[in-house]
Amino acid sequence: MLPGGEIFPALERGVIDAAEFVGPFQDRRMGLHNAAKFYHTTGWHEPSTTGELLISKTHWDSLPEDLQMIVKTACMAACLESVTWSEAVNGEAMTDLVENEGVTASMLPQPVIDALREATMDTLSTEADADPLVRKVHNSYMAFKANHDRWAGASERAWLNDIIGV
């Protein structure tokens, strides 16, 4: 875990072997392609980008409902703008990296994906077994994920594979 400003120098000096900042647009802006010419997708650790605003419950509860709604609406708008902006600019950035900057883009090899999945599940299980609160959050998240995965499999996978043929 490095601060954003330390990623490129660490990659360039060989302190780290690989790096990813946000996505093709931001990675290109940071110049990572000047230190590494391979772009492996999809980021295992970050299947989607999440932004968050943390407010103490005491302070949140002290806000009147109209101000709570303003904060919620502003957060939703910022999240939506961030996701749609990223989707809009990452395609052109990836094309530029491959066609003009000599970057080779490819999926992570299946054995790497399998090893990452195994290590992830082992880590999640170990952490959930060690702490009741972590277990509660883990179980809630995994139940949500199972429902979402069924939907994504029926909608997104079909859209990407069968309809647009990606």
pLDDT tens digits, 103-125: 999 988 889 889 988 999 999 99
pLDDT tens digits, 61-108: 999 999 999 999 999 999 899 889 988 999 999 999 999 999 999 988
**Cβ neighbourhood burial of 146 (10 Å; 0-12, 13-18, 19+):** exposed
At 143 the pLDDT is: 96
Contacts of residue 60, Cβ cutoff 8 Å, sequence gap at least 6: 68
Closest CA to 109 of 40, 38, 20: 40
